Amino acid sequence: MKVTIEQEITKCRDCFHATNSSQLHDCPFTSAPYPTIWYCRKMDKYNNIIHDEDKISDKCPLKGKN
């Protein structure tokens, strides 16, 4: 069975390709909160940090694709 899901994205953090450093670094031995940096798993590894949390990045590889 194949399922298609359509989601309207208004900012990078809404996308299912977005992740953050807290999700990637789950260390139970760290007493201080880990700084949260948001990443895109679809972007090139050198440009994958999401800087603006209120809009879609101009570097988004999926921007404009339908």
Single-letter amino acid code for the residue at 19? T
Q: Which residues pair with 20 in a beta bridge?
A: 38
Evaluate whether 41 touches 23 at the Cβ level (below 8 Å): no
Q: Is the pTM of this model over 0.85?
A: no
Q: In a structure prediction context, what are the per-residue pLDDT tens digits for the chain, which is 66 residues long? A: 999 988 888 898 888 888 887 766 666 666 666 667 888 888 877 678 888 778 888 888 887 665
- Please report, for the chain, the start and end positions of each structural domain, with discontinuous segments joined by +: 7-60
